Structure 1
Amino acid sequence: MVQRTADVSQTAQIIIWFLFVVSVFSVGAGLGTKYALLRRFARDDWLMLLALVMYLAQCITISLAASQGIGKDMDTLSDDAINGFLKAEYASVPFQILSFGLVKWSIAIFIEYLTPDDFHLHVDLGIRVVVALWLVSGIFSGLFQCALPTPWNYLDGARCIDRRAWWTYVGALNIITEVAIIVLYLLVLWNLRTSRARKTMVISIFLTRAFVIAAAIAQLVVFYKAYSDPNVTRSMWLPVILNQVVICVSILTACLPFLKPFMENLHSGIVRVENVVADSQEELSHGRTGSTLLTLSDFTNSAACSHPSNRSTDRSTI
Structure 2
Amino acid sequence: MAEPQPSLSRTLEAVTWLLTTVAVIVVGLRFYTRAIIVRRVGWDDWMMLLSLGLMITDSVFVQISVQHGLGNSQWTLLEEDAITAIKWDYLAQPPAIIGPALGRISFAMLLLNLIGTHKARRIPLHVIIVSQFIANTLVFVLILAQCKPIESLWDYRITGVCWGLDSQSKIGFFQGALNAATDLTLAIFPTIFVWGLQMKLSQKVSLAVLMGLGVFAMVGSIMKTVYLPSVGKRENYTYNTAPLIIWWMVEGYLVIIATSIVTLRPLFKKRTKHSGASGNAHGIRTIGSSTPKGYISTTDPAADDFPLTYMGTETGMGQPSVRAGYDSSNSHELTERNGEHNIRKTVSISVNVSGNRRS
Matched, 1:287 2:292: no
Q: Name the structure 1 match of 2:181.
A: 176
More displaced, 137-146 or 156-165?
A: 156-165
Q: Where do 5+ consecutive residues of structure 1 fail to align? A: none
In structure 1, give the amino acid aligned to 2:248: N
Contact preservation (8 Å) 1:185, 1:206: yes
Q: Name the structure 2 match of 1:192.
A: 197
Q: Name the structure 1 match of 2:163.
A: 160
Contact preservation (8 Å) 1:154, 1:160: no
Contact preservation (8 Å) 1:54, 1:95: yes
Matched, 1:29 2:29: yes
Q: Name the structure 2 match of 1:137.
A: 138
CA distance in 2, matches of 1:274, 1:197: 27
Displacement after TM superposition at 1:112 (Å): 1.0
5 Å matches for 1:83-98? Answer: 83-98=83-98
5 Å matches for 1:1-318? Answer: 4-5=6-7, 8-116=8-116, 117-150=118-151, 152-153=153-154, 159-162=162-165, 163-224=168-229, 230-263=235-268, 277-278=279-280, 281=283, 283-287=285-289, 304-310=308-314, 315=318
Between the aligned residues of both structures, percent identity stands at 19
CA distance in 2, matches of 1:79, 1:276: 69
In structure 1, give the amino acid aligned to 2:99: S
Cα deviations across residues 179-198 of structure 1 (Å, max 9, x unaligned)? 23234323332211211111
Contact preservation (8 Å) 1:97, 1:139: yes
Displacement after TM superposition at 1:113 (Å): 0.9
Rg comparison, structure with higher value: 2
In structure 2, give the amino acid aligned to 1:109: M
The 1:275–1:108 alpha-carbon spacing in structure 2 relative to 1, beyond 3 Å, is farther
More displaced, 156-165 or 77-86?
A: 156-165
Contact preservation (8 Å) 2:220, 2:250: yes
More displaced, 49-58 or 151-160?
A: 151-160
Displacement after TM superposition at 1:19 (Å): 1.2
Cα deviations across residues 77-105 of structure 1 (Å, max 9, x unaligned)? 12211211221111112211111111111
The structure where helix makes up a greater share of residues is 1
In structure 1, give the amino acid aligned to 2:143: G
The structure where strand makes up a greater share of residues is 2
Contact preservation (8 Å) 1:280, 1:303: no
- More relative contact order, 1 or 2 (CA 8 Å, 6+ apart): 1
Q: Where do 5+ consecutive residues of structure 2 fail to align? A: 321-359
